[in-house]
């Protein structure tokens, strides 16, 4: 894959480039600040962009804004956003521009290389990758009448993995259960939460995330 990296911390930038090259990807450009981001993306049209949320000059959300701007001009550009800590607003902003080919990971996740590379592949293939930390924060019990209470522990696990963006096969593999059981659990979850049945893929992820986000905002 051809990849553009935008990260202001030199250590991380070089580390990422080294890792991605060593597993056979091509890093076609690296960017250090928000200003250079969009032109570089339009110039190289990479297969995926890996972006830090906060970039110079203001260290607010240059990376994210760059991603949104780039996706307006290159609608299919997969974007994997790296963040220092979980910021729901940012994750929601990212999803609001369509949940295909987007990822939101904590920077620490980069150190867990297998997970990171899988997430990268998933996003590049048009899928979704949400950091487990983001999902677990969305899954916490909020109110006494939390609809998620209706789920069995196993169903909660399946829901979390689904929200992170894993496909049925991957969920089965991670939980050591057969894919047919995964399908059964998912059917139950959708029924219990009253979610409309959707086909697999990113539309399902989007439905789940939207649902979880709506729970979260109601609790606030």
Partner 1 sequence: MRRAVRSLRYLLAVGGTAVLALFGLYALLAVFALSLVGPGLALVPLALARLRRVADAHRLRAGRWLGCEVPSSYRRVEGGVLARAQTMLADRATWTDLLWLLAHAVFGTVGAALVLGLCTGAASWLTVPLWWQLAPEPPQFMVWEIDSWGAALAACLAGAAYGALAGWLLPWWAQLHALLTRALLGPRKRRTSLAERVVELTITRAEALEAHAAELRRIERDLHDGAQAGLVSVALRLAVMKQVLHSHPEKLPELIDQARDLTDQAVKSLRGAVRSIYPPVLVDHGLAEAARSLVAACPVPTSLDVEQDAGGSRAPVAVEAAAYFVMSEALTNVAKHSGAAAAQVRLRIAGNGIRICVRDDGRGGAGAGPGPEPGSGISGIRRRVAAFDGVTDLQSPPGGPTELRVELPCGS
Q: Does 14 bind partner 1 (CB under 8 A)?
A: yes
Of residues 82 and 128, the one with the C-beta less far from partner 1 = 82
Q: Does 51 bind partner 1 (CB under 8 A)?
A: no
Q: Does 1 bind partner 1 (CB under 8 A)?
A: no
Q: Does 28 bind partner 1 (CB under 8 A)?
A: no
| 153 torsion bin: left (phi>0), alpha (psi -120 to 50), beta (else) | alpha
Cβ contact 124:1 at 8 Å: yes
Q: How far is the CB of 54 from partner 1 (least distance, A)?
A: 10
Q: Does 15 bind partner 1 (CB under 8 A)?
A: yes
- Please identify which residue in the block is written with the tokens 């689904």: 162
Q: Which of the ranges 9-17, 164-172, 194-202, 212-220 carries the binding residues for partner 1, by CB under 8 A?
A: 9-17
Q: Which of the ranges 68-76, 102-110, 125-133, 170-178 carries the binding residues for partner 1, by CB under 8 A?
A: 102-110
Q: How far is the CB of 216 from partner 1 (least distance, A)?
A: 24
Q: Which of the ranges 19-27, 72-80, 97-105, 195-203 carries the binding residues for partner 1, by CB under 8 A?
A: 19-27
| Residue ranges in 108-137 that form contacts with partner 1 under rule CB under 8 A | 108, 110-114
Interacting residues toward partner 1 by CB under 8 A? 9, 11-12, 14-16, 18-19, 22-23, 84, 107-108, 110-114
């Amino acid at each position: 894959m051809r990849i553009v990296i935008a990260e202001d911390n030199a250590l991380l930038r070089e580390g990422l480039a080294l890792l991605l090259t060593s597993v056979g990807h091509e890093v076609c450009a690296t960017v250090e600040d928000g200003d250079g981001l969009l032109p570089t993306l339009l110039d190289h049209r990479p297969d995926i962009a890996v972006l830090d949320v906060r970039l110079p000059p203001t260290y607010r959300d240059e990376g994210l804004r760059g991603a949104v701007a780039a996706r307006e001009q290159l609608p299919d550009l997969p974007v994997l956003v790296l963040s220092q800590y979980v910021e729901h607003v940012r994750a929601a902003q990212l999803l609001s521009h369509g949940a295909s080919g987007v990822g939101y990971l904590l920077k620490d996740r980069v150190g867990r290389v297998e997970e990171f590379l899988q997430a990268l592949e998933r996003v590049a293939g048009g899928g979704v990758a949400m950091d487990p930390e983001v999902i677990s924060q969305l899954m916490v019990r909020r109110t006494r009448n939390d609809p998620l209470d209706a789920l069995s522990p196993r169903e909660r696990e399946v829901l979390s993995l689904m929200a992170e963006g894993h496909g049925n096969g991957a969920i089965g593999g991670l939980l050591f259960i057969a894919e047919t059981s995964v399908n059964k659990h998912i059917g139950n979850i959708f029924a219990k939460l009253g979610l409309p049945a959707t086909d697999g893929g990113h539309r399902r992820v989007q439905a789940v995330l939207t649902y979880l986000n709506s729970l979260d905002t109601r609790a606030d």
